[in-house]
Amino acid sequence: MTTIDSHIEHVLVSGLKNGDAESFNQLFRYYGKKLYFFAYGYLKSREEAEEVVQEVFLKIWKSRKLINQELSFKAYLFKIAYNHIQELFLKISRDQAYKHEILNSSVSYSAEMEERIDYHSLLEITENIINQLPPRQKEILLYKRKEGRSVKEIADILGISPKTVENHLTEALKRLKEGLANEKIAGLIFFSLFLSFEK
């Protein structure tokens, strides 16, 4: 289906609201590729653009009974897609922020470091080291740095003592420092921020 007039779209949306799978499939066939290129224009990633299309149509199906047929279905569809893209950008921003913070906490400047470094490569190295941490250390580190939870909150969530949480955080930070040192990180001039344990 390459074109769709307003009458046919109205019929298909009516069918969709009533749970007709074929109506849904036809709307997907018409708008799916358009949504993909819309998302790709923002994200520059085929995988993420495909994810947006899947998430949007999944949401459309789940909330089909709430669709207002008096409004433009196309506008509704693309608004959902745009909102999802904004959420992805926010998630990326949060993920980058917690990695920056971990780097700042884990690495201090050394006169022996070389003058230049690829910062994005450093973020990738940091993420790889985090992924290699023991499961409990990684879990606690992400609660602390990614979600900004206090030691007490983490202890309550996991059902362990605050002291145990602190010990895991200390060991995780130690492993990060060792891992970054082993990678011979060069040219990094960060302010060294120590991991604070909020009670």
pLDDT of 57 over the 90 cut? yes
| Average pLDDT along the chain | 75
pTM: 0.46
The CA-based dihedral angle spanning residues 176, 179, 182, 186, taken in that order and rounded to the nearest 10 degrees: -50
Dist CA 89 CA 94 (whole Å): 9
Q: What are the φ/ψ torsions at residue 30 (nearest 5 degrees)?
A: -80, -45
Dist CA 152 CA 163 (whole Å): 9
Q: What are the φ/ψ torsions at residue 193 (nearest 5 degrees)?
A: -110, 125
Q: Per-domain residue ranges for the chain? A: 6-89, 107-182
Q: What per-residue confidence (pLDDT) applies to 58?
A: 92
pLDDT of 70 over the 90 cut? no
Q: Which fold has domain 107-182?
A: Arc Repressor Mutant, subunit A (1.10.10)
The counts of H helices and E strands in the chain are 8, 0
Instruction: Write the CATH number of the domain with boundaries 6-89.
Output: 1.10.1740.10
- Counted residue by residue, the chain has a size of 199
**Fold equal for 6-89 and 107-182:** no
Structural tokens at position 72: 């433009």
